[in-house]
Amino acid sequence: MIGSWPCYPAVRPLGKRRELMKGYWTGPAVCALLLAGSPASAVAPLQDRTREEERLMAEAKKIHQDAITLDSHVDIGGARYATPDMDPGIENPRLKCDLVKMRKGGMDGVFLAVYVGQRPALDEAGFKAAYEAAMVKFEAVRRLTEQMHPDKCHLVTTPDGVRKTVRTEKRAIMIGIENGYPIGNDLSLIGKYYDLGARYITLSHSGHNQICDSSGPEQPMHGGLSEFGKRVVTEMNRLGMMIDVSHVSEKTFWDVIKSSKAPIIASHSGCMALSPHDRNLTDEQLRALARNGGVVQIVALGSFLKPDSPERRQALAALRQELGFQRTGRQDRQAMSAEQREQMEKLFEVYQERMKEVDARYPTADLKVFVDHIDHAIKVAGIDHVGIGTDFDGGGGIRGFNDHSEALNVTVELLRRGYSGKQIRKIWGENLLRVWRQVEKAGERLR
């Protein structure tokens, strides 16, 4: 109970596909969400309010259990991921995405991001180190799906495979690469990464690379896609591999739109019109993405969704100074020794824990702001071109949708705003699956 309001126990409804393991949502969190912002709550009789809550909850659960719920961007949680020290098969307090939280929140699948940092110099030594770092993370996904928890999850490489895996009650694990830097100057590595299971590549991260210019304040290096970057786009099209334009500069975005023979994705971005962050997309970009047939996956990272207040920025700067934590350190990981990387990861864990204190004092975006971005993207690009990419375990997580166990809250909020079950299913997964299949078909035509 919350005050005098009823909260509903978890249920396990029998779905059309299987007996769903999606009945583990906590009543208090959902009830609070249902009550928040309801204009009738102050005047409607208690009995009527209770009845409306029950109706909305029942409808939301049914939609959620029938949807294929996918998250297009979750970071792999460090070098210890998929080891006894950081087991994604248990409810791990250090992870916002693990198999238990996915089950509790009714999440069917995630793209795990093989994130690779880069050295300042674009040289063969840096490319070699990045390749080796990428292999470590590919191996972590293999350990998770083949050795540690093959009974709970499955590595999936096709959209049809997602649907088949969902029917088995296992979680679908897909792979994306965040940063094209580990391609080096060798186009054949794209095919190797594809063979290892990668189905999208984010062309850059926070910093220009050999492929393209990144978003951010730096002066352009290539003026968009490099000549090599154009060849990367062509090769990804040929393989049937999704091109991800999150993190790239606006000029790079337009070059990709012009060059690609297949729809593209933005795996974890927000709307510039609502929050002027250089990682977000303008309305013009959203419309172009729709014309291209692609999809923007809205990110659940507070500072992208809502500008930080001056007080919050000051508190974060003070915390980093206190801990000696340099935000740019992640970019230079490949130049560190194994011992230095381990020390930095431990420091980052402390930083994330202490961040909770800052979040409590200076709250950033919440679920409503997140869905505001979904709303805006749909108004501009259309219902067929918007999805969800949280960036959990890479900075994502907001009040009301802080990890995958709270995924139902998104469905409740969408339903409250008037979205139909069909529309919600598109947002949660059908749009991404459609784009993925279209990219596959484009590859079949081009090969």
pLDDT of 23: 42
d(CA 152, CA 81): 16
pLDDT of 332: 54
Residue 375 has pLDDT above 70, yes or no: yes
| Average pLDDT of span 364-387 | 98
| Average pLDDT of span 377-386 | 99
pLDDT of 160: 98
Identify the CA nearest to 244 among candidates 180, 159, 330: 180
Highest mean pLDDT among 220-234, 328-342, 346-360: 220-234
pLDDT of 292: 98
Over residues 388-415, the pLDDT tens digits come to 999 999 999 999 999 999 999 999 999 9
Is residue 172 within 8 Å of residue 154, measured between CB atoms? Answer: yes
d(CA 59, CA 422): 12
d(CA 63, CA 427): 12
pTM to 2 decimal places: 0.86
* CATH H-level, domain 67-308+364-446: superfamily: Metal-dependent hydrolases (3.20.20.140)
d(CA 395, CA 179): 16
d(CA 286, CA 298): 12
pLDDT of 336: 62
Q: How many CB atoms lie within 10 A of CB 341?
A: 17
d(CA 163, CA 176): 18
pLDDT of 286: 99
| Average pLDDT of span 66-94 | 95
Highest mean pLDDT among 7-16, 208-217, 353-362: 208-217
d(CA 293, CA 431): 10
Over residues 292-331, the pLDDT tens digits come to 999 999 999 999 999 988 898 899 899 988 888 765 443 4
Q: Percentage of the chain surpassing pLDDT 90?
A: 73
Phi, psi for 105 (deg, rounded to 5): -90, 0
DSSP class of residue 178?
E
pLDDT of 367: 98
Question: C-alpha distances in angstroms, 94 versus 144, 203, 237, 271, 319?
Answer: 16, 28, 36, 29, 19
Considering only residues 362 and 397, tell me which one the structure prediction assigns the higher pLDDT.
397
Residue 18 has pLDDT above 60, yes or no: no
Residue 251 has pLDDT above 50, yes or no: yes
Question: Quick one: which H or E segment has residue 264?
Answer: none
Amino acid, single-letter form, for residue 391: D
Residue 201 bridge partners (DSSP): 177, 243
| Average pLDDT of span 112-125 | 92
Q: Percentage of the chain surpassing pLDDT 70?
A: 86
Total number of residues shown for the chain: 447
Is residue 110 within 8 Å of residue 68, measured between CB atoms? Answer: no
pLDDT of 21: 40
Q: Nearest 5°: CA angle at 405, between 431 and 88?
A: 95
Q: Where are the domains of the chain?
A: 67-308+364-446
